[in-house]
Amino acid sequence: MSIKRIAILGSTGSIGTQALDVIEANPEVFSVEVLTAQNSADLLIEQAVKFKPKVVVIGNEALRDKVISALASLPIQVYSGDAALVSVVESEEIDMVLTAMVGYAGLLPTIHAIKAGKNIALANKETLVVAGELITNLARENNVSIYPVDSEHSAIFQCLVGEENNAIEKIILTASGGPFRGKDREFLAAVTKQQALKHPNWSMGAKITIDSATLMNKGLEVIEAKWLFDLAASQIDVIVHPQSIIHSMVQFEDGSMKAQMGLPDMKLPIQYALHYPYRLKSTFPRFDFAAYPSLTFEKPDLETFRNLAVAYEALEKGGNAACIVNAANEIAVDAFLTDKIRFLEISDVIIECVAKINYIQNPGYSDYVDTNEATRRFALEMIQVKV
């Protein structure tokens, strides 16, 4: 079996660094061809020295000279800027692109990678949230496979292996509930970003951790699941499972269910996506049933955590509605992390944007770009008023 050549978009983030751990543990299976980062030049340099990719891209052009200088003695090409990020994924020397960038920024590089015929290991859920129909159609036209990296979607994907001839009745995405499970709106009105950044089970980047605390992360996953598995909104349930041992479930038409289980560790779904359809032997910690005598489940509180309900509404509405939700959420989360708005105001910003931004029923790529920009401008204006 030949070595699979990987490009990692967002190599300095949580998913990217864990993917490099997987690659380092399996040098006979994977090689790193491309590493990219937006601002984390020091870590990108460290990774490049260690893994020696053919190409690195630093998104922030002001950091280009720093990266070039640090890697001058190595046979590594250094590029910068968004245009470089888009073009490197088209290289013939890449077999698979891991999209580990956070947010809307991952959309255009993913489109170009698909058009170049590269299989995608998708950790950037926003790509399908913003433009799910466009992306899935492109993948079909270019005979490209999209392998989910999110633990929940990987779980569904694993449960469906061998079930190609059996219809799905519904899927059940599990949610940890985040750090504020069971809390009311009075409590949430006063929470700090330090509290919100303390996830009980998973180690993630700041944006995704806040999304988990608001349940928007689960809302985005609901929208992503629709496109990954060709489902209606009514076929996608969410259940709160605080232990995060069952990563998600599939229910078939005969009523039987399959679940994928394991200790919370993102390296497992990363590894599965990179090497599908084969499983690699690992030294990951093993689950011990005796250590978990009770696995519990409860319904999500949609009245307290309104973002999940907003995401379902956007999925039902279709068009550019999910693009609006995603853009508003990105701006609102950044504002919360920079102390410009309070925790509950994240939902307020998103709901107002959905109400005010122009709805387009059948958007094309340029419509998504315009919607994203218009939503961000409007959300920033709202936040300026609140400050």
Taking only the tens place, the pLDDT of each residue in 291-303 is 999 999 999 999 9
Q: In the chain, what percentage of residues exceed pLDDT 90? A: 93
pLDDT of residue 74: 97
- State the pTM of this model: 0.93
Radius of gyration of the chain (CA): 20
Assess whether pLDDT exceeds 70 at residue 203.
Answer: no
pLDDT of residue 40: 96
pLDDT in tens, 219-277: 999 999 999 999 999 999 999 999 999 999 999 999 999 999 999 999 999 999 999 99
Q: In the chain, what percentage of residues exceed pLDDT 70? A: 98
Assess whether pLDDT exceeds 90 at residue 198.
Answer: no
Confirm if 353 and 379 have CB atoms less than 8 A apart.
Answer: yes
Assess whether pLDDT exceeds 90 at residue 200.
Answer: no
pLDDT bucket at 202, cuts 50 / 70 / 90: low
* Secondary structure (DSSP) of 321-383: HHHHHHHHHHHHHHHHHTTSS-TTHHHHHHHHHHHHSPP-SS--HHHHHHHHHHHHHHHHHHH
Task: For the beta carbon of residue 241, count every other beta carbon within 10 angstroms.
Answer: 22
Confirm if 225 and 218 have CB atoms less than 8 A apart.
Answer: no
Assess whether pLDDT exceeds 90 at residue 385.
Answer: no
Average pLDDT over residues 82-111: 93
pLDDT of residue 102: 84
Average pLDDT over residues 168-191: 94
pLDDT of residue 387: 57
Confirm if 229 and 156 have CB atoms less than 8 A apart.
Answer: yes
Average pLDDT over residues 190-202: 84
pLDDT of residue 104: 87
pLDDT bucket at 103, cuts 50 / 70 / 90: confident
Average pLDDT over residues 24-30: 97
Helix intervals (H) in the chain: 14-25, 41-51, 64-70, 82-88, 107-115, 126-141, 151-160, 185-188, 193-196, 206-214, 216-229, 267-275, 306-317, 321-337, 345-356, 365-386
Closest by alpha carbon to 58, among 76, 82, 75?
82
